[in-house]
Chain A
Amino acid sequence: MTTVVQSAPVAIGEVHLALLLSGPRHGYDIKRAHDAWFPAERPLAFGQVYATLGRLVRDGHAEVVGTHSEGGPERTVYAITGSGRERLLAWLDDPAPPAGTAGEEIIRKTVVALHATTSGADAERVLSAQRAAHLRRMRQLQRRSTSVDPERSTDLAVRLADRHALLHLDADLRWLEEAAEALRAQPPTAPTPPSPPPSPTPDDQEPQP
């Protein structure tokens, strides 16, 4: 039997900060909102949520602002700090690497930008910067393949690899256009209030310090 190692999803800290941008939440609510934003991904494990929140608090990007209990166990409520907000916006402003195989980070950044745009992020600017990063990389790839300078001419294997990267970047751009269109057609709604958690199962108990 092979062991599947589940690595942390890309930019998990930033996504937690984005989920806190619209208001304080407890861990269960963060997990629920994350899974709704990224339905194609594996649901977030509670251990991951609390470990991530712990790191964000340690680094001053989030803080504990109280506890919340509505017929269930007492849950710690977290809020984003000024430093967390700065960190999130800086991450959004930095386009994902135009690598052609970095799809996951582009999806996370774009989805976060679309959701966070009512809370201070500028989704159009994020999408535009990502398009710029992609087009510049695509231009480099094309110049390398069409170069007539023998010093810089490339062999077939490199040209084929460049073409593969170029067409994947094109696919990313088409997806970005659709995402931008979706944003214009249906602006993200205001954040939903935290839901009361269901009865706890042994699996989702908030770890006690």
Chain B
Amino acid sequence: MSPDQPSPPDVLAEPTHPLLRLAGISHAHGRTPALHDVDLEVGAGTAVAVTGASGSGKSTLLHVAAGLLAPDAGTVELLGHDLAALDDAERAQLRRRDVGIVLQYGQLVPDLPLLDGVALPLLLDGAALGPAREASRAALAGVGLSAAEDAVPAELSGGQAQLAAVARALVAQPHLVLADEPVASLDPAGAALALDLLWGVVARGGALVLVTHDNVLAARCDREVRLAHGGVQHDLDLR
């Protein structure tokens, strides 16, 4: 973070400090309760699957963790920063630099060719066009989309758009990746590629939080946090 940012604990230098910490999170969409008193800590070098039936609160949890949704109650700490203590610009900066986010829908800017769409987090953070495009080119090559650099999102298949979203989430080499069904629309080869890249974050000492319905994918993770009716049904160590 820049010098004018509040200085949080250096979570990467302190392996015991969680990269993500949710405490007492409750949230309702209008009158419909979505999360109730949820606690979750994710440490370095860990992949956590968040599972549960449709409507159990998985996607809401991910949006709250990413700071895209302010909870009605509770605390969110992202890489040591209390999100409530940051303003919108600071939260956005934290996300661009250190948190990769893969959502199910609509993450790519419609009018931008992929090369610039994937480079966007770096460009918004002040990177020069040349190096940002270089990083984007490498990220797109990583997901097998080199040939689609000049395409706009509408020209991509669903699977290609999902791979591009993974590339964009990883372009800034984040310490934490939050992903909602990141491989649901990919064929087996594309899924294997994307998952290996996401697990690369874990291998480098970061962390991965995956929302998924896929039991096989959940069983690749180190932990399963299962939600039911907005609460944590179980938090299993699978190692």
A positions within 8 Å CB-CB of B: 124, 128, 131-132, 134-136, 138-139, 142, 166-167, 169-170, 173-174, 177, 181
Give bound CA distance, A181 to B53, whole Å. Answer: 9
Query: Closest Cβ of chain B: how far from A14's Cβ, in Å?
Result: 24
Q: Is the C-beta of B215 less than 8 angstroms from some C-beta in chain A?
A: yes
Query: Closest Cβ of chain A: how far from B217's Cβ, in Å?
Result: 9
Q: Is the C-beta of B224 less than 8 angstroms from some C-beta in chain A?
A: yes
| Pairwise interchain contact B234-A135, C-beta atoms closer than 8 A | no
In-complex Cβ contact of A139 among B53, B219, B226 (8 A): B219
Q: Is the C-beta of B89 less than 8 angstroms from some C-beta in chain A?
A: no
Query: Closest Cβ of chain A: how far from B234's Cβ, in Å?
Result: 5
Extra inter-chain contacts (19) besides given A135-B218, A142-B216, CB under 8 Å: A128-B233, A128-B234, A131-B234, A131-B236, A132-B224, A132-B234, A132-B236, A134-B215, A134-B219, A135-B224, A135-B236, A135-B238, A136-B219, A138-B215, A138-B216, A139-B219, A139-B220, A142-B219, A142-B220
Contacts of B220 in A (CB 8 A): 139, 142
Query: Closest Cβ of chain B: how far from A118's Cβ, in Å?
Result: 20
In-complex Cβ contact of B216 among A124, A131, A170 (8 A): A170
Main secondary structure of the interface of A (DSSP, over half): helix
Query: Closest Cβ of chain A: how far from B181's Cβ, in Å?
Result: 16
Query: Closest Cβ of chain B: how far from A113's Cβ, in Å?
Result: 16
Give bound CA distance, A189 to B220, whole Å. Answer: 38
**Those of B197-219 within 8 Å (CB) of chain A:** 215-216, 218-219
Contacts of A174 in B (CB 8 A): 215
Give bound CA distance, A136 to B239, whole Å. Answer: 7
Give bound CA distance, A166 to B220, whole Å. Answer: 11
Give bound CA distance, A183 to B60, whole Å. Answer: 25
**Those of B167-226 within 8 Å (CB) of chain A:** 215-216, 218-221, 224, 226
Give bound CA distance, A154 to B218, whole Å. Answer: 22
List 14 A-B pairs, Cβ < 8 Å: A131-B234, A134-B215, A135-B236, A136-B219, A136-B238, A138-B215, A139-B219, A139-B220, A139-B221, A142-B216, A166-B219, A169-B215, A170-B216, A173-B215
Give bound CA distance, A131 to B224, whole Å. Answer: 10
Contacts of B238 in A (CB 8 A): 132, 135-136, 139
Known: A135-B224, A177-B53, A181-B53. A166 touches B216 (CB 8 A): yes
Point out which of B53, B216, B220, B233 has the most chain A C-beta atoms below 10 A from its C-beta: B216
Point out which of A135, A138, A177 has the most chain B C-beta atoms below 10 A from its C-beta: A135
Contacts of A132 in B (CB 8 A): 224, 234, 236, 238
